[in-house]
Amino acid sequence: MVFVLDKHKQPLMPCSEKRARLLLRRGRAVVHKLAPFTIRLKDRTVGQSEVQPLQVKLDPGSKISGVAVLRGDEVVFLGEIHHRTDIKDRLEKRRMIRRNRRNRKTRYRKPRFLNRRPEKCAGCGRNAKHGSRYCRKCGQQPKDNGYRETRLPPSLRARVDQVMNASRKIRVPIGGISMELIRFDMQKLENPEISGVEYQHGTLWGYEVKEYLLQKFGHRCAYCLGESGDPVLEVEHVVPRSRGGTDRVSNLAIACRTCNEEKDNLMPNEWLGTLQRSKRKLDQVRADNLPKVLGQLKAPLRDAAAVNTTRWALYRRLLSLCIPEEVGSGGRTKWNRERMELPKEHYWDAACVGESTPERFWNIPAWVQVWEAKGRGNRQVCRTDKHGFPIRHLSRQKRHYGFQTGDMVVAEIPRGKYAGKWRGRVTVRASGTFDVFVRAVRAVQGVNHKYCRVLQRGDGWAYEQTRTAIAVPPHA
């Protein structure tokens, strides 16, 4: 499937690859964009064409979101959006570097706070002070009249922005949007058999967190059972936060300060291997008790929490497009997918969202478009080691010899280890020797810029495609 634009760059009905080749060969169209592949007609406008509005369907996810475009019961487009998952770690690393720099006093930078976007009063539109309950001018409460915008952390806001950005890349006449507006029940995910008063009260009914953990582990260390002799008990993350752990009660334990400091930021399995190799009696006691603590852990629910937090923000962003919107539950999506005996894939979940799902699909595309968000680089000039000390500096110039990191290039290397023709995303250096990545793998290293040619400037995305997964033959 190829996206088609008219001579004024307005979307028309997509066409097949064969039709696009004929239009290009006859000179009626030109290539508008390589990825996603889009052509532009020279002699046609929207008013001179017959346009059938298509239904765009979305299945938002934490790491991967599914996209599908339908024309009645015909599947026009299938795709996956791979979100960035490193934003939180990058922000924490930047915060650590800035904090270390302020402490060293090599370059004082005042810590920032209260630098969020200002709220606006619904009555007069004036920017309100952060934390204020009433507008100083008209006296209204922004919270009561519903104007106050929901703030999302950068890692979650990026997911919403990436879905909206990818939706704009689908250049088709849109007649409606379907979205799965699902809400995960955290208590049911933790304990499927919970019901009644226990469901209403929750885990920490009548307790504070530390008091609950003290009662749970009998007012003694969960690892050494008091063998260390350390009377100071602390709340400890079994899976460290620096390694992906959360603050859920199921990931917390009571540990003495001695065990807490010796465990440090090791994963439970890593610490268990160290304890089993030790010959100390205290370590043997810890090795015997650690599997019991691991047995009380539960699966992390970070992805479910991310979907719960971003679902309404994405819904409001889609409403702002002024396009008829349809929402569906996760149960309906699963029922539609199982009724048609389709495999569990993100793009098939998107195709089965909502009441507009047909009885059967036909003319299923052979390829699924995979779009991965890469970002447009960063502004960090100073590279540091793991302790935050500078080790090298980069050039302030982003473009070297006409190339920039993220550009789609073709490298024709005449000789040497990497002789041949390579096509992929490029990583540039000021020295003029570049690296070419093909499908997120470094295929060429140290190629001279003279052998490279730009196909398309980088836009923060990497474009690939995979075969469509079909469990049973499609029924026409």
CA distance 434 to 445: 7
Residue 196, judged by CB atoms within 10 A of its CB (0-12, 13-18, 19+), counts as exposed
CA distance 449 to 433: 6
What is the per-residue pLDDT for 306? 87
Q: Which CATH class name applies to 208-295?
A: mainly alpha
Residue 299, judged by CB atoms within 10 A of its CB (0-12, 13-18, 19+), counts as exposed
3-83+155-185+304-373: CATH architecture: 2-Layer Sandwich (3.30)
**Residuewise pLDDT in 10s, the chain (476 residues):** 899 999 999 999 999 999 999 999 999 999 999 999 999 999 999 999 989 989 999 999 999 999 999 999 999 999 999 999 999 888 888 888 888 777 776 666 666 666 655 566 656 666 655 455 556 666 665 544 333 445 788 999 999 999 999 999 999 999 999 999 877 665 655 556 565 545 554 555 444 678 778 878 888 899 999 888 898 999 999 989 888 888 878 888 999 999 999 998 899 889 999 999 998 999 999 999 888 888 777 666 778 888 888 988 999 999 988 899 999 988 889 899 999 999 999 999 999 999 999 999 988 999 999 999 999 888 888 888 877 788 888 888 889 999 999 999 999 999 999 999 999 999 999 999 999 999 888 999 999 999 999 999 999 999 999 999 885 444 44
CA distance 172 to 4: 8
Q: What residues form DSSP beta bridges with 463?
A: 371
- Helix 281-295 vs helix 268-277: crossing angle, to nearest 10: 150
User: By C-alpha distance, which of 316, 347, 321 is closest to 333?
Assistant: 347
Strands 38-41 and 3-5: parallel
Range 395-458 classified under CATH 2.40.50: no
What is the per-residue pLDDT for 205? 47
What is the per-residue pLDDT for 95? 85
- Cα Rg, the chain, nearest whole Å: 28
DSSP symbol at 431: T
CA distance 348 to 334: 10
Contacts 24+ apart (CB under 8 A), 187-196: 189/299, 189/301, 189/304, 190/250, 190/298, 190/301
Q: What residues form DSSP beta bridges with 177?
A: 56, 325
For residue 431, which phi and psi values (nearest 5 degrees)? -75, -15
Q: b or e along 128-161 (b: 16 or more beta carbons within 10 Å of the residue's beta carbon)?
A: beeeeeebeeeebbbeeeebeeeebeebbebbbb
Per the structure block, which two tokens stand in for 373? 């968000």
CA distance 130 to 119: 7
**Secondary structure E strands in 272-347:** 325-328
User: By C-alpha distance, which of 22, 26, 29 is closest to 4?
Assistant: 29
DSSP symbol at 258: H
Q: Which sequence spans correspond to the domains of the chain?
A: 3-83+155-185+304-373, 208-295, 395-458
What is the per-residue pLDDT for 175? 92
The answer to whether the CB of 118 falls within 8 A of the CB of 132 is no
- pTM for the whole structure: 0.77
CA distance 370 to 469: 13
- Helix 302-319 vs helix 154-169: crossing angle, to nearest 10: 50
SS3 of residue 166 by DSSP: helix
CA angle 313, 315, 316 (to 5 degrees): 65
